[in-house]
Amino acid sequence: MLYTRSSQLFAEAEKVIPGGVNSPVRAFKAVGGTPIFVKSAKGAYMYDEDGNRLIDYINSWGPMILGHAFEPVVQAVIEKAKLGTSFGMPTELETQIAALAVSMVPNIDKIRFVNSGTEACMSAVRLARGFTKRDKIIKFAGCYHGHSDSFLIQAGSGAITFGTPNSPGVTAGTAKDTLLARYNDLENVAALIEANENQIAAIIVEPVAGNMGCIPPNKGFLEGLCQLCTDNGILLIFDEVMTGFRLAAGGVQELFNINADIVCFGKVIGGGLPVGAFAARAEIMNYLAPLGPVYQAGTLSGNPLAMAAGLAMLQSLDSDRAIFKRLEEKTAYLAEGMEKVLKANNVVFTINRIGSMVSVHFDAAPVVDFQSAAKGDNETFKKFFHGLLQEGIYIAPSAYETWFITDALTYDDLDFTIQAVDKVSKTF
Ligand SMILES: *Cc1c(COP(=O)(O)O)cnc(C)c1O
C-alpha cells in the first residue's frame, strides 16, 4: 500500500502545526515514518487520502465502540446542528444524558459534563482536594489521566512514548503533591499513605489500565485500594475515561462490583465528539460551584451537539446490553487467533485482554505494571506496526497503547487480521 499523499499532507502540516499533529500520539515518532491522513470512516474501516482502506483497531482511541459514523449519532448531530450549535444556557438535553448516565453507572447521583477526559480528571482531583481539605494525590506509574500538570508524572501513553514522563513546564511545587505508586502493588500504596498521614486527598487510578498497553488489576488490588481509602479518609477516583461504557454499561464499578468515590468519563460518553464528565454521590458533587465552594466551569460544557452525540451513543448501549458480551467474544477470538500464529512463528510475546481491550507485548514475562510493560521489544513492535499497516490494518503507533475492538468488526475482519499477523510475524 502506498501512503504518498499522506506523506505530502504531513509535510504541509509540519510547517504550521508543531510536529504536524494536534496530539503527539498521532505522530509516528515511536515507530518511524509519517502519519496517515484520514479522509473518512464508516463502521470498522477508515479511508485515507491515498484511497487505502484500513481496518481500524484504534477507533479514535476508544469512542467509536459501535463503529465509525454510527447512524443514530450522525443523525442526532445533524438534527441538533440545525437548531443552533451553542447557547451557553441550559438545555433539556443535558438533563436527559445526565439522567441516563446516572441510571447506567452504579453508585453515582450527579454528573457534570466537561469537554475532555483531561478536564474530567483535573476537575475530579480539585473536587477531592476541596472536599477533603488535603493537597496530595497518589497516582500510578504508567496510568494516564490527561495532560493536566498534576498528572504528567510518569504518565502512560504518549507521555512515555516521547520520553518526557516529567514534562518541562510542570513546576516542582505541583510535582511534589503527586505521589507515585506501582500499579498492582498495594504495599507500595500503603507505605505512601503511612508516610503522608492525613495529607492525601485522593488516589486516582485507571481501574483497568489502558495507557501502558492493557493491564487488568490483580485480584484484590481494587478492593485493597478501596479499603485503604476508607480507612484513611481518602477519596478513591476511578478514571474510567477509557473503560466507562466500554467494559460494561456501568464500567469497572459494575464489572468488579466495587464502588469508587468519584468516577471520570470521556471517550465513549461523547460518541466521538469532545466530551468528558465526572460523577459522584450527591454529598461530594454538591461541593461544586454554584452549590459549593469548588470552582469548575466551561463555555462549551454540555454543548448541544456533543450531548446529542453522547445521548445517542448511551441510548444505543443501554438498549442492547448484549453488546458488551459480543465485544468480549470478538476480542477473545482475535487474541486467541493471534496467540496461535505468534506461537507457531516462535515469537516471544504476551497478550493481555479484558472485555473489548487487548494489547500485544513483545516480551515473555507477564505485563502487570509500567516496569514490565516497558520491557517489550520496541524494534519488533515497529516491524509489527508497519507490517500490519502494509496489510491495511491500523493499530496505534506505540507499544504502550491498547487496541479497541468495535462492534462493527466482522469475524471476516478478525480472520483477515489474524492472517496478517501470521504473515508479518514470519518476517521478525
Ligand atoms: C484518554 C484518557 C484521558 C484523557 O482524555 P482526553 O479526552 O484525551 O483529554 C484520561 N484518562 C484516561 C484513562 C484516558 O484513557
| pLDDT mean values, one per 10 residues, the chain (428 residues) | 94 97 93 96 98 97 98 98 98 98 98 98 98 96 93 67 64 87 96 96 98 97 98 98 98 98 98 98 98 98 98 98 97 98 98 98 96 95 97 95 97 98 97
Q: Give 64 Cα–ligand 1 centroid separation in angstroms.
A: 14
Ligand 1 mean position, distance from CA 425 (Å): 31
pLDDT of residue 138: 95
For ligand 1, pick from 64, 211, 252, 400 the residue to mutate: most ligand atoms within 8 Å of CB. 211
Ligand 1 geometric centre to CA of 167 (Å): 17
CB 242 near ligand 1, within 6 Å? yes
Residue type for position 273? L
Instruction: Report the nearest atom of ligand 1 relative to the CA of 267.
Output: 7
State the closest ligand 1 atom to the C-alpha of 23, by its place in the atom list counted from 1.
Answer: 8
Which residues neighbour 373 within 8 Å (Cβ) at sequence distance 6 or greater? 142, 212, 213, 215, 361, 367, 400
Task: Specify the 3-state DSSP secondary structure of 57.
Answer: coil
Domains in the chain, CATH or no CATH each: 4-69+322-425 (3.90.1150.10), 71-319 (3.40.640.10)
Report the nearest-CA residue for atom 6 of ligand 1: 117
Q: From the CB of 145, is ligand 1 less than 6 Å away? A: yes
pLDDT computed for residue 159 by the predictor: 57
| Residue 363: per-residue pLDDT | 96
Ligand 1 neighbour 64 (Cβ under 6 A): no
146 CB under 6 A from ligand 1? Answer: yes
Q: Name the residue with the closest Cα to ligand 1, atom 15.
A: 242
Ramachandran class of 203: left when φ > 0, alpha when ψ lies in -120 to 50, beta otherwise: beta
Classified as helix, coil or strand, 238 is strand
Cα of 144 vs centre of ligand 1, distance in Å, is 7
Ligand 1 centre to CA of 134 (Å) is: 24
Residue 178: beta bridge partners?
137
SS3 363: coil
Q: Which of 145, 150, 208 to mutate to test the pocket of ligand 1 (most atoms within 8 A of CB)?
A: 145
User: What is the structure's pLDDT at 123?
Assistant: 98
Whether ligand 1 lies within 6 angstroms of the CB of 253 is answered as no
The 10s digit of each residue's pLDDT in 130-156 is: 999 999 999 999 999 999 998 987 666
Task: Give the Cα separation of 306 and 120 in Å (integer).
Answer: 15
Residue 401 Cβ < 6 Å to ligand 1 = no
Q: Which of 22, 25, 121 gets mutated to test ligand 1 (max ligand atoms within 8 A of its CB)?
A: 121
Integer Cα distance of 317 and 35 in angstroms: 32
Please work out whether the CB of residue 241 comes within 6 Å of at least one atom of ligand 1. yes
Give pLDDT, residue 163.
44
pLDDT at site 153: 76
Backbone angles phi, psi at 102, to 5 degrees: -65, -35
- Ligand 1 atom with minimal separation from the 157 CA: 15
What distance in angstroms lies between residue 1's CA and the mean position of ligand 1's atoms?
32
Q: Which amino acid is at 59?
A: N
Enter the C-alpha cell of residue 241. 475515561
Q: How many Å lie between the centroid of ligand 1 and the Cα of residue 400? A: 14
- Provide the whole-model pTM: 0.97
CB 334 within 8 A of CB 418: yes
Does the beta carbon of 20 lie inside 6 Å of ligand 1?
no
pLDDT of residue 160: 52
Q: What are the pLDDT digits (tens) for 345-372?
A: 999 999 999 999 999 999 999 999 999 9
Ligand 1 atom 10: the closest Cα is on which residue? 145
- Would you name the residues annotated as active-site residues? 144, 239, 267
Amino acid symbol at 313: M
Q: Compute, in angstroms, the gap from residue 117 CA to the centroid of ligand 1.
A: 4
Q: Among candidates 120, 354, 405, 156, which has minimal Cα distance to 239?
A: 120
